[in-house]
Amino acid sequence: NIPQSIIVKEMLPILKKNPGYLTRKNMEVLAGNKKISPYSINWKKYSRGVPFTIREKPGKNNSLGLVKFLFPNHFNIYMHDTPAKYLFEQTNRAFSHGCIRLSEPEKLANYLLRNDTSITPEKIKEWMNAGEEKYVRVKPSVPVFIGYFTAWVSHDGKLNFRNDIYGHDQKLAAEVFGK
């Protein structure tokens, strides 16, 4: 499901001109559980979000790749595969909307499901390439902790800084030091 923030910032301007964009991108519109035609919607009347779910269907060209790993959080962040494997060769790899792209998601799936003897690596590969959704709950659950650091001290005592792609440092500085 496409987050409203992406719908508003990126999709609505396109949909106002061409509702066929969704079909071309292998997406569908849902009102509740009912599929509706993107051509039946007056996209021009929306600017702050839409009262529909826009969903990208599974498949090899899905933006999230062949597998995604959901975990509880308030930010709509998860780990996922990508069809854009070339991005892993880039120096700057901050191309997502906040999610975490995985270079080897099948290995992670195999690792997380290793204790379930009914799920084999072959079964995981089959599910990933089936072109349809399959939900699998990891048991026992695995805690997920995500750290975002723009400054840290390395093991050899050197202070390191990196670009703050999300702008958190500026917000923190305003909180700590005022405007």
Question: Which positions are annotated as active-site residues?
Answer: 80, 99
8 Å CB contact between 21 and 30 = no
Helix (H) or strand (E) segment spanning residue 172 = helix 168-177
d(CA 118, CA 30) in angstroms, rounded, equals 34
Q: What are phi and psi of 171, to 5 degrees?
A: -65, -40
For residues 148, 66, 5 and 86, what is the CA-based torsion angle, rounded to 10 degrees? 60
d(CA 97, CA 63) in angstroms, rounded, equals 11
d(CA 122, CA 101) in angstroms, rounded, equals 22
Q: Is the omega angle on the peptide bond into residue 140 within 30 degrees of 0, that is, cis?
A: yes
